Amino acid sequence: MALSEAPAERHRQIAGTFTARVEATRAWDGPSPVAAWTARDVVRHLTDWFPAFLAAGTGIELARGPSVDDDPVATWRVHHDAVQALLDDPTTAGRVLTNPHIGEAPLDVAIDRFYTADVFMHTWDLARATGQDDWLDPDFCAGLLAGMESMEDVLRGSGQYGPRIAVPGDADVQARLLGFIGRDPYWAPAGTAAEA
């Protein structure tokens, strides 16, 4: 099923896939493809940075669940539901997010561009960390990669992305996107069959 172009529906699809990976996770403290992060830290990242970004740019305070250290599944559910409710609220279409780095953007567009895209990429991290299906929509991968490659210097300078990892010339678009954002597309936890 193709991803929607509408921010609320695209979030529902992408965050729904991430939710499925969260709910199927049984071991939260194993390593992830992000250096020094566990599976739990993938959820921590998404549920920490976005509420702060949103509050600073709009004054909106999202509902917060329990600590990710206590219950990462509940933390994610409360966060996910709050973001989806915001996107589904008809008044959101008229709101604007202001940020010193990106200027002003319609709130739903800002959420889609910065947050939903981040959930999409971190779905791979959580899936790989926990031995789940790590497939990402290739069309969305291609769109993200094209947009990010056009501003690579800015992204690298932000400190939010690691050095680009080279992938084979015939690598698929998912592997190329992962390499661009500093992930080894072939990473697997030590001792697993995917490690090679």
CA within 13 Å, CB half, 146: 6
Ranges of H-type helices in the chain: 7-24, 39-58, 72-88, 107-110, 117-130, 138-149, 152-158, 173-180
SS3 assignment, position 52: helix
Kindly state the average pLDDT of the residues 68-81. 98
SS3 assignment, position 59: coil
Residue 162's pLDDT band, with cuts at 50, 70 and 90, is confident
Q: Which residues of 142-176 are buried (b: 16+ CB within 10 A; e: fewer)?
A: eebbeebeeeeeebeeeeeeeebbebeeeeebbbb
Kindly state the average pLDDT of the residues 31-56. 97
Q: What is the pLDDT of residue 153?
A: 76
Residue written as tokens 């965050």? 15
- 173-195 pLDDT, tens digit per residue, is 999 999 999 999 999 998 665 54
The residue with greater pLDDT, 117 or 154, is: 117
Query: What's the token pair of residue 51?
Result: 């509420």
Query: What's the token pair of residue 94?
Result: 């008229």
- 79-129 pLDDT, tens digit per residue, is 999 999 999 999 998 999 999 988 999 999 999 999 999 999 999 999 999
Contact by Cβ (8 Å): 40, 68 = yes
Residue 56's pLDDT band, with cuts at 50, 70 and 90, is very high
SS3 assignment, position 97: strand
CA separation for the pair 130, 189 (Å, rounded): 9
Kindly state the average pLDDT of the residues 9-32. 98
Residue 196 in this model has a pLDDT that exceeds 50: no
Is this structure's pTM higher than 0.95? Answer: no
Q: Which domains does the chain have, with CATH numbers?
A: 7-135 (1.20.120), 136-187 (no CATH)
- 129-153 pLDDT, tens digit per residue, is 999 999 999 999 999 999 988 887 7
Residue 65 in this model has a pLDDT that exceeds 80: yes
Q: What is the pLDDT of residue 193?
A: 56
Q: What is the pLDDT of residue 163?
A: 86
